[in-house]
Amino acid sequence: MIQFSNYDIISNLLFATQWTILLSLAAFVGGTSVALALTAARLTRNSLVQKCVHLYVELFQGTPLLMQMFLCFFGLSMLGYEISAWSAAILSLTLFTSAFLVEIWRGCIDTLPKGQWEASRCLGLSFLQTLRFIILPQAIRVALAPTVGFSVQVVKGTALASIIGFVELTKVGTMLNNATFEPFKVFALVALIYFALCYPLSLYSKHLEKKFHVSR
Amino acid sequence: MLHFSDLFQYTDVFLSGLLTTVELTLLTTILGIALGTCCAAIRQYGHTVSQRLVAVYVELIRNTPFIVQLFFIFFGLPAIGLKLTPWQASMIALTINLGAYSTEIIRAGLSSIPKGQIEAAKVLGMNFRQTLTRVIFTPAFEKIYPALTSQCIIVMLGSAVISQISVEDLTYAANLVQSRNFRAFESYLVTALLYLVLAIALRFIFNQIGKRLFAYREVR
């Protein structure tokens, strides 16, 4: 029987934290890229494309992240596509993140007055030029705070990857709990580490919100 | 190949799971919003110390994953002598979770009420209770109603996690069915769609309730 000292518990949890961070980063990068593509598609003003994006958002915002993970992990492998827990987690978190980011960014672009599009058209700017020089510089300032705020949800979402067996912070927490029978201590520490990851992001998001609100 | 016909014999398993999810959602929505309203009132009008305490509660819950909160309540609390059934534990965890989010949302509504209106109510001779219900809470809730209801739906979707402490909710039903007939993709797909239908239905019901609650706005 191996004894776990407090030092062992904490060092194991911190070791697992890097997988949580890595998974969050991968999901966030994946989610942003997909959301960028979808936002661009939505801006083309093609009603069929817009409807598809809307359906995508509705589908992934209206179903639990856990179900999406199960479908990616158990479902796809039942259909004959072998997929590891790591890739299933990244795939489902990417879908989840992008669905929310598209909706957040839509709000940000829609807050810009319609007159700006029309003025750009009058000045002879093409669609891409309008986007590059007029819309994006303003939209990014508005979008930054809620996007950073949403990254907190991504970090918290990675905790669900423990259920499909990916070894990250929560999974190591349950494993340590099974080994030490000290759930109070272990899960309090796990929660504390998540808090240490998420709270700076929350604060930064609040800071950005204030900063851009003042300058507008 | 997909075989949805294998799922038909498990209809009652899915239905009882759905019922548990709906039941928990309704209960936690009511309790969570009540908790959030109290905490928001404290955060807005309370004593400095109690304001700080509420802030700590809100930030702690908002910055940790729900599953860790659930595990802490279900596995952690019995270690200090508070034994809970899975149903009670998930009930408490969901309420605490929704409570923290709704505190932030309701507080935003409360701070949008201009001080002058409260003073005006006093001048007009309204008593404390009338001021609270008619001047502060009703307009505040009207402003934040959409945000509050979508948070309730997010919590409903998040409740899928409680199957992990063996509460027999919709996700538990999906796991049970796929372990019996090995039709994982079909079982999870149907469950995901059931959640989607539930989310859409909830949004519709909330909209209807909103129309009733804030009907005084309409011209009669």
Q: Which of residues 192-211 of B touch A (CB under 8 A)?
A: 192-193, 195-196, 199-200
CA distance A72 to B39: 39
- pLDDT above 60 (res A215): no
Residue A37 belongs to some domain of the structure: yes
- pLDDT above 80 (res B220): no
Domain B12-217 has CATH 3.40.190.10: no
Q: Which DSSP string do the residues of A69-123 spell out, in sequence order?
A: HHIIIIIHHHTT----HHHHHHHHHHHHHHHHHHHHHHHHHHHS-HHHHHHHHHT
Alpha-carbon gap: B197 to the closest alpha carbon of chain A (Å) = 8
Q: For chain B, give the mean pLDDT.
A: 91
Residue-number span of the structural domain to which A172 is assigned: 6-215
Position A161 scores a pLDDT of 94
* Residue B194: count of CB within 10 angstroms of its CB: 20
Position B213 scores a pLDDT of 85
Q: Do B68 and A170 count as a contact with CB atoms less than 8 A apart?
A: yes
CATH number for the domain spanning A52: value is: 1.10.3720.10
Q: Do B80 and A184 count as a contact with CB atoms less than 8 A apart?
A: yes
- pLDDT above 60 (res A204): yes
Q: Do B174 and A67 count as a contact with CB atoms less than 8 A apart?
A: yes
The string of pLDDT tens digits covering residues A16-34 is 999 999 999 999 999 999 9
CA distance B81 to A134: 61
Lookup: tokens for B186 = 């079909």
Q: Does B164 touch chain A (CB under 8 A)?
A: yes
How much is the average pLDDT of B161-187?
A: 90
Residue A1 belongs to some domain of the structure: no
Q: Which of B73, B93, B104 is nearest to B24 (CA)?
A: B93
Alpha-carbon gap: B206 to the closest alpha carbon of chain A (Å) = 15
User: Contacts of residue B199 in chain A, CB cutoff 8 Å?
Assistant: 62-63
Dihedral of alpha carbons B58, B63, B64, B70, sign: positive
Q: Does B157 touch chain A (CB under 8 A)?
A: yes
Size of interface A-B (CB pairs under 8 A): 126
The string of pLDDT tens digits covering residues B105-150 is 999 999 999 989 989 999 999 998 888 888 888 889 999 999 999 9
Position B4 scores a pLDDT of 81
CA B56, B58, B61, B62: dihedral to nearest 10 degrees? -120
Q: Domains in chain A: how many in total?
A: 1
CA distance B157 to B154: 5
What percent of chain B stands above pLDDT 90?
73
The string of pLDDT tens digits covering residues B66-92 is 999 999 999 999 888 888 999 999 999
Q: Do B182 and A78 count as a contact with CB atoms less than 8 A apart?
A: yes
The string of pLDDT tens digits covering residues B7-34 is 888 889 999 999 999 999 999 999 999 9
CA distance A28 to A147: 10
DSSP 3-state of A164:
coil
Residue A99 belongs to some domain of the structure: yes
Interface ipTM:
0.90
Q: Do B185 and A71 count as a contact with CB atoms less than 8 A apart?
A: yes
Radius of gyration of chain A (CA): 21
Lookup: tokens for B132 = 């609270």
CA distances, B98 to each of B154, B157, B158, B196 (Å)? 9, 12, 10, 20
Q: Do A187 and B71 count as a contact with CB atoms less than 8 A apart?
A: yes
Q: What is the DSSP letter of B114?
A: -
- pLDDT above 90 (res B53): yes
CA distance A126 to A195: 46
Which ranges of chain A does DSSP label H, i.e. alpha helix? Answer: 6-43, 47-61, 65-70, 76-78, 85-111, 114-122, 127-129, 136-157, 169-180, 183-215
Q: Structural domain boundaries of chain B?
A: 12-217
* Residue A30: count of CB within 10 angstroms of its CB: 17
The H or E element that residue B68 is part of is helix B66-71
Q: Do A67 and B195 count as a contact with CB atoms less than 8 A apart?
A: yes
Position B205 scores a pLDDT of 95
